[in-house]
Amino acid sequence: MTIYDLVIKNGLVIDPAQEIEEKFDIAVSRGVIESVEKNIPSSSAKTVIDASGMIVTPGIIDLHTHVCYSICPRLGVAPDKTCLVNGSTTVLDAGSAGHIVFPSFREFIINNSRTKIYALLNIGSIGLVTFFFDRVKSVLLSPELIDISETISCIEKNRDIIKGVKWHHVYGQEALLLARQVADKTGTFMMCENSALYWYPIDIVLKFMKKGDILTHCFHGGPAPAVIDEEGRVRQEVEEARRRGVIFDVGHGQASFSFSVAEKSIQQGLEPTTISTDLHLGNINGPVYDVGTTLTKFLLLGLSLRDVVEKATLNPAKALGISDRLGNLRPSSVADIVVWKLVKGKYELIDCMGEKRISEELLRPIYVVSNGELVVR
């Protein structure tokens, strides 16, 4: 008889990649999924997890985080302690590092974390190193901090990790054009902020965006124009961008998620393509906390559990071009798995505008498996 390293039994398996939403057992060996089937005997495993009454999903792929900790001292969170233990087995760092600090980010953080880390390179040379240092913030606005050829060369040297370029509003509108050039020249994509600031209305930002590009903070509540207009209707430019394949990503963050904008958008059929946290030091103690809390907000907004899982596993995997081995529970895929409990109670969830809503359930990770190994129990 085959002896597996780990078998997860009796859980409700939700794997949108295989269109599974049913009770199955999952067997894991040597870091990969071996099989997903009914009644795998407990005696065939070195370790057994009983997931009765729980939900089993692929490891979460959080498409917007800032894990460049210590290099960005007031922004970055430590990935293993904040993302991995809470269910995000893979994260995308959304432009914490520019080309000057990327080598340190790679050597000291990416190479030494259990969390799988992909990155977007910031269009600004030092990225967000000085973020939340208000007295030196204006330094960032200098166009002299952008070097296109160094940025391109850094992407080319780190193709396995760097998936695209990040336009961050602090670098100004001119940088948007430069980010477009970098993405086109390297054949990668661009992530743009649906930004807080008055200077960059969404119609201007969307003009630069193509298929496969990611508009993060998609349910920003303002003060700049949101995806919905003053009458609450989804803007024409937004509909057009969605039709041409722009990805709408939540990127909850400290100031970038409004229940009311999300609700009105979803009612009109504008669902996010991907649900991400924008987890960083400024929001980890609220309003974001962790990925389970962000996912719960979308259950509260009426999305099904299956849809929420798809938007945090399969869809981000596709956006990053890694869906062959991550974001799903297919046999031979990497064994990144989360066992969740939908805990009943009364939970006050808060958005970035201060609006509170009560949820009667909260998605909590009970077991996290990364590369076939149990991370938390």
Quote the CA–CA distance of 95 and 162 in Å, as a whole number: 10
Nearer to Zn ion, 65 or 296 (CB): 65
Nearer to Zn ion, 213 or 278 (CB): 278
Quote the CA–CA distance of 339 and 256 in Å, as a whole number: 28
Which tokens in the block code for residue 367? Answer: 């077991």
- Smallest distance, Å, CB 327 to Zn ion? 21
Q: What is the DSSP letter of 142?
A: -
Residues 108-137 that bind Zn ion (CB under 5 A): none
Phi, psi of 309 (to 5 degrees): -65, -40
Q: CB within 8 A of 360, min separation 6: which ones?
A: 344, 345, 346, 347
Residues 277-336 that bind Zn ion (CB under 5 A): 278
- Smallest distance, Å, CB 352 to Zn ion? 13
Nearer to Zn ion, 94 or 145 (CB): 94
Residue 117, SS3? strand
Q: What is the DSSP letter of 136?
A: G
Q: Which stretch binds Zn ion (CB under 5 A): 24-32, 94-102, 231-239, 313-321?
A: 94-102
Burial class (CB in 10 A: 0-12, 13-18, 19+), 44: middle
Nearer to Zn ion, 94 or 339 (CB): 94
13, 54, 92, 94: which one contacts Zn ion (CB under 5 A)? 94
How many residues in the shown chain lie near Zn ion by CB under 5 A?
A: 2
Burial class (CB in 10 A: 0-12, 13-18, 19+), 25: buried
Residues 264-283 that bind Zn ion (CB under 5 A): 278
Nearer to Zn ion, 25 or 278 (CB): 278
Q: CB within 8 A of 272, min separation 6: which ones?
A: 218, 219, 248, 249, 250, 262, 298, 311
Quote the CA–CA distance of 209 and 78 in Å, as a whole number: 31
Q: Which stretch binds Zn ion (CB under 5 A): 86-94, 242-250, 284-292, 339-347?
A: 86-94
- Smallest distance, Å, CB 225 to Zn ion? 20
- Smallest distance, Å, CB 257 to Zn ion? 12
Q: Which residue is nearest to Zn ion (CB)?
A: 278
- Smallest distance, Å, CB 295 to Zn ion? 18
- Smallest distance, Å, CB 355 to Zn ion? 21
Nearer to Zn ion, 109 or 369 (CB): 109
- Smallest distance, Å, CB 150 to Zn ion? 22
How do beta strands 337-350 and 189-193 pair? unpaired
Nearer to Zn ion, 9 or 66 (CB): 66
**Binding footprint of Zn ion on the chain (CB under 5 A):** 94, 278
